[in-house]
Amino acid sequence: MKDTIHTVLESDLLERYLTGETSVEESLRAEHLIGKYPEIEKEYEILQENLELFIRSYAVEAPEDLRKEIVSELGKSQAADDKKPVSWLFIAASVAAMIFAMATVTLWKQNKLLSDQNNTVATQIEDLKKDIVLTNSKLENVKSKFAVLNNPETKKYYITGNERAKNLKSVAYINSKERLSAINVLSLPELPKEKELKMWAEINGKMVCLGTLEQADRKLMALPFNEDATAYKITIESKGNNNFATIDTEVADIRFDQE
């Protein structure tokens, strides 16, 4: 450390720093050394004091009117500063800041809108997927029905009501090989509210309920198939009766062995 201090004091670094002759690197080094070593700091202090005394020896009385002029100039400068119009740079910065703020708000709104739209589209896509599944399901159903109708093994049975239900008209399709059966109800008679038309299959001498017959806008409805069935019957029953077919109320009958 002593060597460093000695070397610095012996060099002309401080003198050149005092006269402003040092490079940026040298100035930084000088400032570092002055800040680090009290001996060097003291030497620099003395140099500055000596410089001041040396320069003061050349002092010349400054004109008093110049003082007034300078102080007056300060007043003008201060007033000008106070009244200084807003600089173009400030205006530009303000405008830029406003544009930035507006752009930020606009972009945020657009982002929110797009996000909402994205959610809507996602929901619609989900709905469409469900629709596709449903449509595919319906298509499969139609295809299966078409397969029934188009199959050469399928037999077609025209069903018309007797005197109890003259208005009953329907067509049944049965394919015993493919174990498929369907019915297309074309028209149904008007029935009291507590009555309904039931479809039955005769299996080994017993009547098994296949369901309630309803007009469905000419749609083909699948029927449960049973290979042991020898006949289908339609009867007028009280609502809720699925246990036995009432022979007295039979309105139509299809016997497979008739073919």
Partner 1 sequence: MSKLLERTIIDHLKNRDEQGMNLLYDHYGDTLFGVAMKITKDEDLAKDVLQLSLMKIWDKIETYNPEKSKLFTWMFRITRNTAIDKIRSISLKTDQEIQIEVSDVYNLGVQGVNPEHMDIKKHLNTLEDKYVEVLEALFFKGMTQQEASEELNIPLGTIKSRLKIGLRELRKIFDPATLS
> Which residues contact partner 1 (rule: CB under 8 A)?
12, 15-16, 18-21, 31, 35, 45-63, 66-67, 69-71, 73-75, 77-78
The residue type of 102 is M
Nearer to partner 1, 63 or 240 (CB): 63
Which one, of 257, 130, 254, 82, lies nearest residue 182 by Cα?
254
CB of 7 to partner 1, least distance (A): 14
Which one, of 34, 54, 36, lies nearest residue 45 by Cα?
34
CB of 90 to partner 1, least distance (A): 19
Q: How far is CA 159 from CA 63, 162, 166, 188, 215, in A?
A: 133, 10, 11, 11, 14
Helix (H, G, I), strand (E, B) or coil at 191: coil
CB of 70 to partner 1, least distance (A): 5
Give the C-alpha separation, 21 to 147, whole Å. 105
Q: Please, what is the Cα angle at 45 between 43 and 46, to 5 degrees? A: 65
Nearer to partner 1, 46 or 147 (CB): 46
Six token digits for residue 177: 């090989």
CB of 84 to partner 1, least distance (A): 13
Give the C-alpha separation, 248 to 233, whole Å. 12
Nearer to partner 1, 19 or 136 (CB): 19
Nearer to partner 1, 63 or 85 (CB): 63
* Eight-state DSSP code of residue 251: E
Nearer to partner 1, 72 or 106 (CB): 72
The residue type of 29 is R
CB of 88 to partner 1, least distance (A): 21
